[in-house]
Structure 1
Amino acid sequence: MLAIFGNLVTGVPMTLILTFGALLIGVVLGVPICMARQSRHGVLSRLAAALIVAIRSVPPLVWLFLVYFGLGSGILRMSPLVAALSGLGLITAVNMAEIYRGSLAAIHSGQWEASQALGLPRWSRLVEIIGPQVARISLPAVATYAIGLLKDSAVASIIGVPELAFRGTYLSQQTFKGLEIFMAVGLLYIAMSLPVAWASRVVDARIRLRVAK
């Protein structure tokens, strides 16, 4: 069993790169998508809403195929890792946009009115007053999504990214010990998920403590 773990662990760094790389892309790109969705311009808001629905309605595996075998085969040459990061990052971005939108809706209207009464420009209100509150409210949902993304990163094995699931599949085909190998794969996914959940609780507790002060 130790030998199995030793071979599987080589796929863990790639799994973490996929997870946190896609999460970073999504956290950043989710902001302009959310702002477009909340825009007062009807056309822009509807376009953002259509984008969110379209991307969320298609399974991640299909998006990876579209990016890697579609764009990557002729229009833009890209490695399996870049294709996986692009596909998962895009999916994460629209989900982050919806998380941000829900967090904005949870902020009391008095916060907007008070910041407006101070005479602050709209951008300053968003960055200095509303933004930190959105971050605090959305943190549990983002952490939950990150754990889900860690598991969803396994789809990247289909296009040849040598992450944990890819290593598990390869070893099971070589050794015919599928049960033992995928039990070990499951344990490794659990081991990676627990620190994310713990870190989110710690950060959330610290943010709440600062707000209380």
Structure 2
Amino acid sequence: MDMLKAIAIGLPLTLLVTVLALLIGTVVALPLVAGLRSSNRAVWLLTRGIIDLLRGVPPVVWLFILYYGVSIGQLKMTALQAGVVGLGVVSGAYLAEIFRGAIGSVPQGQWEASSALGFMSSTAWLRVVGPQAWRTAIPSYTTYAIGLLKDSSIASTIGVAEIVFLSNQYARQSGEGILIFFIAAGVYILLSMPLGIFSRHLDTKMRKAVAR
């Protein structure tokens, strides 16, 4: 296996882990946000405890727990499944905070206007509050996606054959050492740049809109 081929083989799994973990994280974040906004003290405390636990333990530890410790009958998670689920659930805790902040930034007047127009709570969320909160959350959401792209390399610790795993394997077999890791770093930068530019563009656009 040559150097560029190792990177090319690992690239699809890097992207797959990132995208699936981000999707899982988004889904997990929604009930957590609801819990953080609950007026029920017990629900709030439980949700806060779950989020603090997920954020307080290093992601690599969660991956080890899922891969080596979780089994249902004869079923056992594959490395890819453990990597995606582990990173996805941890992402949910961070995204919940992003979404909570975005929802909190929606002016109270928008809620009151929705109520005055007779919108049901679900309608107000879908048509008024949700779109505004999402626009506010997008820059932070995109920035987090960039971080998750880099964190996908953690999955290499349990054997997911993504870029870092195959780069390390190539370096061990070829004896060429560090060069392939510089190439891998360049690939991560190239993948991150469009997201970074998009995030900064949205952030600048939102700041101008707020200033008007």
- Per the normalisation by structure 2, the TM-score is 0.91
CA contact 2:37–2:44 (8 Å) conserved in 1: yes
State the partner residue of 2:36: 37
How far off its partner does 1:77 sit?
1.2
> 2:9 matched to 1:10?
yes
> 2:145 matched to 1:149?
no
State the partner residue of 2:22: 23
**CA distance, structure 1, for counterparts of residue 206 and residue 26 of structure 2:** 18
Of 100-109 and 69-78, more deviation after overlay is shown by 69-78
Q: Report the AA paired with residue 27 of structure 1.
A: T
State the partner residue of 1:89: 88
Q: How does 1:89-108 map onto structure 2 within 5 Å? A: 89-108=88-107
State the partner residue of 2:190: 191
Q: Report the AA paired with residue 15 of structure 1.
A: T
Q: How does 1:126-145 map onto structure 2 within 5 Å? A: 126-145=125-144
Q: Report the AA paired with residue 143 of structure 1.
A: T
State the partner residue of 1:165: 164
**CA distance, structure 2, for counterparts of residue 11 and residue 73 of structure 1:** 29
How far off its partner does 1:195 sit?
2.3
CA contact 1:103–1:137 (8 Å) conserved in 2: yes
Gaps of 5+ in 1: none
Give the RMSD, CA atoms, in angstroms: 2.2
**CA distance, structure 1, for counterparts of residue 44 and residue 75 of structure 2:** 29
CA contact 2:167–2:184 (8 Å) conserved in 1: yes
**CA distance, structure 1, for counterparts of residue 115 and residue 153 of structure 2:** 46
**CA distance, structure 2, for counterparts of residue 117 and residue 90 of structure 1:** 38
Higher percent of residues as helix: 1
% same residue: 39
How far off its partner does 1:201 sit?
5.2
Q: How does 1:110-129 map onto structure 2 within 5 Å? A: 110-129=109-128
State the partner residue of 1:80: 79
